[in-house]
Structures are given as structure tokens and as C-alpha cells.
């Protein structure tokens, strides 16, 4: 509409100028003829030349107006006012505004991860290669109703999004995108957790139920069988009890994960206590536990939680270190890069067992993940020990480093904030 009005206005201006110059030229010629001057031919030629020049200028002006109208019609770019841009930049979700040709006229910073940093003035089809979204935009530009479109991006990693697409009265299309990746992953974890927990409980429960039926039937008067079955039932019941305790412990830790502890504890004494508790297990496997002598190391932490961390890690080292194995525990201090005076104390628990495949290391702290399922169950593992360790360390604002070489053994190193560093940082 705006471009046609510009062309029409230029044409009307040209017509008016031409009529005015024609009237002036005719009046001049009549006046000269009536005066009978001898210079009639020369003056007439001058008037005609002036009229031709004016006609040329009017023609060029019309050509420029038509070119400008065509260019504006081809671009159809609408400028977003600076105040509106400032407001839209505050939106923490990807937000795009398109003109009537599908060209991006605004893209906030949150959208850079989706369409790149230089998306403005490009067509949406050049920066977003999602057919369902592009088809929805075409329908909206054609006058369709607002739509919600779910789509996924698989490169470089998988992300899940939901786009709301609508058109305003001026014909601009607004594309707002929500990142649903965290919600989808949480839902997948919940489903996996329920399935895994049900599976872990189903096996011992089926065993206990089967033995109860057997004892009620033909084996009720068989004393040796009864003793054997009762022993197996006790083991399976203990397995269910440990699983339930670990689930409750993991839930409690996750609820408090955002509340870091503030007390100070000696991590060296915690290690000695954990080793004393697990001494019978180490003796049964004929495993030696060597604790390097060290002065007390004060860290910021909760004693009960850290006791659980090191009992789990030491238990794993004894369990997977092999019969007649050797477990070595070392202590040390590590400075934080770029933070003078801030540091962490660490505890490294090393075994010399079979080791862990490299591809399995990133998954070790997942719930119910086991490298060797059969062996873990035989040794009473629930598959939740390292998940508990990870969440406790996160609560303590520390970190867990896992290093392993197949055939040589594994080292689990726990880094915890040093108490003195915490005090200096707070001053």
C-alpha cells in the first residue's frame, strides 16, 4: 500500500510540472509573436530547450521514485524502535520477530544458540532448518491462527523446544521458543528411576515369595531345606532393606543439595573411622587398606554425609579391588586456579583391581548404573552408591575425579573446600 502511494505521488508531481512548463512556454511564444520582435526564432528555441530540460528532470524524478518503491517492496523491512528492542532483550527465552516476507527483523540474545549471532535481516529458512516450524510460519503469514509447535534439534546435542507463533495487526510474526530439554530429561529420569527401582525390588521379592510358598508346601518338614531357604530369604530381605535405605538417603540428600554445610570437620579422622567400620569386610576379602600418615585436614562439611561418601568409596575399592587386593588412601591440597589463598583438600582412594572401561566412567554416578550387574548384585550393591556420593559432594561444593586404567585399577579422588580457605574468603 505504501509503495503504490509513493509511485502515484511521483506521477502526479511529474504531470503537474509538465503542464506548468507547457503553459509558460506557450505564453512566451504568443507574447513574442504579438510583439513582432526579430529575435522570435532564437527566443522560441530557448523556450523549447528550457521546456525539454524541465521535462527531463521530471522524468528522472519519476524514475527514482519508482525504483525506491520497488526496492521497498522487495525488502519490506520494518524497523523495531530502540525502546521496544530494549524491552524484548529482557526476555530470557529465544524471541524472533519476522516481517511479512519471512525476514528476521529482531532476534534477542537468548536466540543466538538457536539461530546464530547474525540472524537479523536473514530469512528464517536460512537460520532455522526445521520443516514443521517453517510450515507453521507460512500458515501464519497467510492469515492462519496462532500455533504451538514442538520440535527438536539434534546437533551438536539433542535439545527439545516448543515454539509459539502468532501474527500481529501490522502483519509481523512473533516467534517465541521455550527450551523443554530439562523438563524432558527430568521426565525420562523419573520414568527410568521408577522402572529401575521396581525391577530391583521385584527380584528379591519374588525370591522371598517363592521360598515362603515352598516352606508352606512340601518343604515344611524338611529341616535342612528350611534352614537354607531362610538364609536366602534373609539375604534377599537385607538387599531390599539396603535398597530402600539408599533410596531414602538419596531423596534426603537431593532435598538438601542446595543448602551447603557450614561446620568444619577433620577429613583424616573420617577416613580412619570409615576404614575401621569396613575392616571386617576387608579381612573377609583378605584386602589390606593402607592409609598414608597425614596431619589433620579441616574441611567445610557435614560429618555424617562425608562418612557416607568415604564408606561408599572404600567399600567399592574393597569390593572391586579383587581378593588379596591392596587399597591405598592418600591426602593432599590443591590450589584453586585464579584464586589466591583459596584451595581444596583432597582424598584419593586407589585400588589395584580390574579397572573400569573408559566409556563407562561418565555413567558411573547415574542411578542404578553398574559396569558388572551380576557381580554387583552378588556383592550386595544397589547401584545407588556413587549417585549418593555425587549428590553429597555437590552439596559440599566439591568435585569427584574418577581415573581408571583397565587391568591396573581405579582411583576415586574427592576434592572438598578447605576450611581455612573458606574463612579467608569470607573476611
Topology of the domain covering 184-255: Helix Hairpins (1.10.287)
Residue with cell 561418601: 309
Q: Give dist(CA 248, CA 308) in Å, integer.
A: 14
Backbone angles phi, psi at 374, to 5 degrees: -60, -45
Q: Is pLDDT at 27 greater than 60 in this prediction? A: no
Pull the grid cell for residue 353: 583391581
Report the CATH architecture of 82-179. 2-Layer Sandwich (3.30)
Banded model confidence at residue 74, pLDDT cuts 50, 70, 90: very low
Average pLDDT over residues 208-237: 84
Mean pLDDT over residues 208-231, rounded? 84
Q: Output the pLDDT for position 302.
A: 93
Is the pTM of the predicted complex or chain greater than 0.85? no
CB atoms within 10 A of CB 269: 12
In 249-301, DSSP assigns E strands to 264-266, 288-291, 298-300
Q: Around Cβ 209, how many Cβ atoms within 10 Å?
A: 12
Measure the N-to-C terminal CA separation of the chain; round to a whole number of Å: 68
Position with higher pLDDT, 79 vs 313: 313
Sequence spans of domains, the chain = 2-75, 82-179, 184-255, 264-426
Length of the chain: 427
Low-confidence winner among 28-37, 200-209, 249-258 (lowest mean pLDDT) = 28-37
Determine the pLDDT at residue 254.
80
Three cell numbers written together for 209: 515369595
CA dist 54 and 58 (Å) reads: 6
> DSSP class of residue 259?
S
Whole-angstrom distance, CA of residue 138 vs CA of residue 133: 9
- pLDDT band for 1, please (50, 70, 90 cuts): very low
Q: Mean pLDDT: which of 320-324, 351-355, 417-421 is highest?
A: 351-355
Among 352, 363, 358, smallest CA distance to 407 is for 352
Question: Which residues, 6+ apart, have CB-to-CB distance to 132 below 8 Å?
Answer: 149, 151
Q: What is the pLDDT of residue 71?
A: 46
| Top-confidence range, 76-90, 246-260, 319-333 | 319-333
Listed ranges 43-47, 61-65, 286-290; the one with the highest mean pLDDT: 286-290
317 burial (CB, 10 Å; 0-12 / 13-18 / 19+) is buried
Place of cell 577416613: 271
pLDDT at 269: 95
Q: pLDDT tens digits for 101-156?
A: 899 999 999 888 888 888 898 999 999 888 999 999 999 999 899 999 999 887 66
Predicted confidence band of residue 68 (pLDDT cuts 50, 70, 90): very low
Instruction: Look at residue 82 in the predicted model and tell me its pLDDT.
Output: 84
Mean pLDDT in the chain?
79
CATH number given to 264-426: 3.30.565.10
pLDDT confidence tier of residue 311, bands split at 50, 70 and 90: very high
SS3 328: strand
Of 243, 240, 235, 242, which is closest to residue 211 (Cα–Cα)?
235
DSSP summary character for residue 122: S
CB 398 within 8 A of CB 260: no
Displacement of CA 381 from its chain's centroid (Å): 32
Q: What is the pLDDT of residues 344-397, one digit of tens each?
A: 999 999 998 888 888 889 888 888 887 776 666 666 667 888 999 999 999 999
What is the predicted pLDDT for the residue at 426?
A: 42
- What is the model's pLDDT at position 11? 47
Whether residue 4 has pLDDT greater than 70: no
Amino acid at each position: 500500500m505504501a509503495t503504490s502511494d509513493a509511485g502515484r505521488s511521483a506521477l502526479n508531481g511529474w504531470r503537474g510540472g509538465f503542464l506548468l512548463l507547457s503553459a509558460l512556454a506557450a505564453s512566451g511564444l504568443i507574447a513574442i509573436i504579438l510583439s513582432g520582435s526579430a529575435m522570435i526564432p532564437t527566443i522560441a528555441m530557448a523556450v523549447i530547450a528550457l521546456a525539454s530540460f524541465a521535462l527531463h528532470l521530471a522524468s528522472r524524478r519519476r524514475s527514482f521514485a519508482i525504483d525506491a518503491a520497488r526496492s521497498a517492496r522487495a525488502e519490506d523491512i520494518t524497523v523495531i524502535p530502540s525502546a521496544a528492542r530494549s524491552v524484548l532483550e529482557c526476555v530470557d527465552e529465544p524471541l524472533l520477530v519476522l516481517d511479512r516476507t519471512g525476514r528476521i527483523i529482531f532476534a534477542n540474545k537468548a536466540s543466538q544458540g538457536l539461530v546464530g549471532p547474525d540472524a537479523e535481516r536473514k530469512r528464517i529458512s536460512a537460520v532455522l532448518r526445521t520443516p514443521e516450524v517453517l510450515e507453521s510460519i507460512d500458515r501464519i503469514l497467510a492469515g492462519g491462527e496462532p500455533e504451538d509447535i514442538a520440535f527438536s534439534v539434534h546437533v551438536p546435542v539433542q535439545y527439545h523446544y516448543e515454539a509459539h507463533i502468532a501474527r500481529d495487526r501490522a502483519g509481523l510474526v512473533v516467534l517465541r521458543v521455550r527450551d523443554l530439554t530439562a523438563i524432558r530429561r527430568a521426565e525420562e529420569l523419573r520414568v527410568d528411576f521408577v522402572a529401575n527401582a521396581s525391577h530391583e525390588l521385584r527380584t528379591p521379592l519374588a525370591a522371598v515369595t517363592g521360598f515362603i510358598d515352598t516352606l508352606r508346601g512340601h518343604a515344611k518338614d524338611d529341616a535342612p531345606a528350611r534352614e537354607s531357604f531362610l538364609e536366602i530369604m534373609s539375604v534377599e530381605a537385607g538387599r531390599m532393606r539396603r535398597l530402600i535405605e539408599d533410596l531414602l538417603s538419596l531423596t534426603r540428600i537431593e532435598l538438601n543439595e542446595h543448602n551447603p554445610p557450614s561446620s568444619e570437620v577433620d577429613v583424616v579422622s573420617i577416613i580412619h573411622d570409615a576404614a575401621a567400620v569396613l575392616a571386617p569386610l576387608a579381612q573377609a576379602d583378605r584386602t589390606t587398606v593402607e592409609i598414608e600418615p597425614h596431619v589433620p585436614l579441616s574441611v567445610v562439611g557435614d560429618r555424617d554425609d562425608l562418612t557416607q561418601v568415604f564408606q561408599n568409596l572404600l567399600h567399592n575399592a574393597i569390593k572391586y579391588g579383587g581378593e588379596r587386593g591392596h587399597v591405598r588412601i592418600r591426602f593432599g591440597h590443591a590450589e584453586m586456579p585464579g584464586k589466591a589463598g583459596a584451595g581444596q583438600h583432597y582424598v584419593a582412594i586407589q585400588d589395584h583391581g580390574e579397572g573400569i572401561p573408559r566409556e563407562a566412567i561418565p555413567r558411573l554416578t547415574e542411578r542404578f548404573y553398574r559396569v558388572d550387574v551380576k557381580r554387583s548384585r552378588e556383592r550386595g550393591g544397589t547401584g545407588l552408591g556413587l549417585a549418593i556420593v555425587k549428590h553429597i559432594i555437590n552439596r559440599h561444593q566439591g568435585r569427584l575425579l574418577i581415573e581408571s586404567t583397565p587391568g591396573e585399577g581405579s582411583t576415586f579422588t574427592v576434592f572438598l573446600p578447605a576450611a581455612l580457605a573458606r574463612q579467608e574468603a569470607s573476611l
